[in-house]
Amino acid sequence: MKQKIRQAEIYVGLKDSESHKQIYEKERYISVLKNVCHSYRTAFSYDVIEGGYFHEDGTYVEETSLKLTILNTPEEIVKEIAKDLCAFFHQESVMVTYLEPDVEFISENI
């Protein structure tokens, strides 16, 4: 049976907003991300991703980012998690996207 699920994704870069350098090893950032989700009692998954983007001044940057995926969590909690990650990772901002995918759970008994 298909279900409607609300999915939020939070993208947070690992380069410091002032020094423009990644200060810590990615494992430390992952540990912080896990602790934040645990403190909000939120189920999650994450991906380590590589990408590039342009600053408003036209400067091109490549960086490692974490993509946090959260399911069926109230929007206000998603925003609080995003704010915490923004502060803890010392970012200018983080990006949050929302999706409503059709989800079907499959088991071997069906």
- Domain residue limits, the chain: 2-104
Q: How would residue 89 be classed by pLDDT, with cut points 50, 70 and 90?
A: very high
pLDDT of residue 54: 87
Residues 6 or more apart whose CB falls under 8 angstroms from that of 16 comprise: 22, 23, 90
Q: How far apart are alpha carbons 21 and 56 in whole angstroms? A: 18
pLDDT digits (tens, 9 = 90+) for 23-63: 999 999 999 999 999 999 999 999 999 999 888 889 898 99
pLDDT digits (tens, 9 = 90+) for 59-87: 898 999 999 999 999 999 999 999 999 99
Helix (H) or strand (E) holding 35: helix 26-39
Q: Which CATH architecture has domain 2-104?
A: 2-Layer Sandwich (3.30)
Q: How far apart are alpha carbons 88 and 66 in whole angstroms? A: 13
Query: Contact, 22 vs 63, CB < 8 A?
Result: yes
Q: What is the pTM of this model?
A: 0.89
pLDDT of residue 16: 93
